[in-house]
Amino acid sequence: REVGIRLYEAIALVDTAETGVSGFTRVADPEEEVKKALKVAREKMVTGQLNFLLGPVGFPSSSPELLRIASEEARKNGLKLHAHLSESVVNEELSRKMFGLSETGMLEKIGFLGPDVIVAHGVNLDPIDIQVLAKHGVNVAHCPTSNVKLGNGIAPALKMINQGLNVGLGTDGAASNDSLDLFSEMKTFILMQRSREGFDRRVNAQLALDMATRNGGLALDSSGKLGVISPGAYADLVLVDLTLPSMLPSEKVLDNLVFSGGCRAVRHVIVNGELLVYDGRLRNEELYRRALEDFNEAAKRVSYK
């Protein structure tokens, strides 16, 4: 709220933990976890600027019971849902062993899937899974850097798009991405999909930019006001320096932005009509100083071994 950014935060929900001996054990009550999350959302939500989703982490950290309860309560309260899906082969194999279904099949069976759902990853989705997600209008957050860093593979993002799924770009968390740079994700998406599917002219800078802006915006806000520049849309803008060598020649602006310009080209950032970053620096210097102090203090408590 102090920074002035637009936030869509998924409140993580976990109720099981891996024991290594007997499989999984319940560590929290599903209903209580959802109740606590709803309380946070109600108290902190500021529609349009600060928004919250219910975020059951996904199987196996979230049991089918928790996933079901979260989906029911989210819909009663007008909240969207976020979960990890088919991130690793291990999780897919475990789901088939425990339920006789893929992770996607299990989510469909309990009524979790819908157009109000955003699933991250989808690395190991098979063609039937993709068709099921498309049937329910599910949104996908494709996180190419995280997927390859963790050795999970390359998600069939182009196949999802061809089936009509709304696929946006994500970074995943800092632990599996480091830079959290959406510009870098655009380039990585193109390189990884061409590596997986072969050279396809549809996998280009325009598609990557759409995924990073419009598609992601549509997944988070079905009004169509997010991630686009049009009359009536939210005034959220990133202005880049077109005079940099990495942004030349000017006839290739999109390609330059995705393949060579990157975040280094960003000069100004406007959120909800307010100028927050000017000439590459946060305008609220006091907030920046406090954040730096908090980070350094936290770093002292962490063991880097």
pLDDT along the chain (305 residues), means of 10: 90 87 81 97 83 96 98 98 98 95 99 99 98 99 98 98 98 94 98 96 97 98 95 97 96 96 97 96 91 91 74
Cis omega (within 30 of 0) on the bond before 115? no
CATH assignment of 7-234, among 3.40.1800.10, 3.10.640.10, 3.40.50.1970, 3.20.20.140: 3.20.20.140
Domain locations in the chain as residue ranges: 7-234, 235-305
Please tell me the predicted confidence (pLDDT) of residue 302.
82
User: How is the chain split among helix, strand and coil, in percent rounded to 5?
Assistant: 45, 20, 35
Please tell me the predicted confidence (pLDDT) of residue 46.
73
Please tell me the predicted confidence (pLDDT) of residue 19.
66
In the chain, DSSP finds a helix count (H) and a strand count (E) of 12, 12
- Predicted structure pTM score: 0.94
Please tell me the predicted confidence (pLDDT) of residue 2.
81
Query: In residues, how long is the chain?
Result: 305
Contact 81, 54 (CB under 8 A): yes
- Per-residue HEC secondary structure of 246-295 comes to HHCCHHHHHHHHHHHHHHHHEEEEEECCEEEEECCEECCHHHHHHHHHHH
- Chain-centre distance for alpha carbon 96: 25
> What are phi and psi for residue 303, nearest 5 degrees?
-95, 115
CATH assignment of 235-305, among 3.20.20.10, 3.30.565.10, 3.40.50.150, 2.30.40.10: 2.30.40.10
Comparing 7-234 with 235-305, is the CATH topology the same? no
Rounded CA gap, 225 and 153, in Å?
33
Q: Which amino acid is at 32?
A: E
Q: How many CB atoms lie within 10 A of CB 150?
A: 17
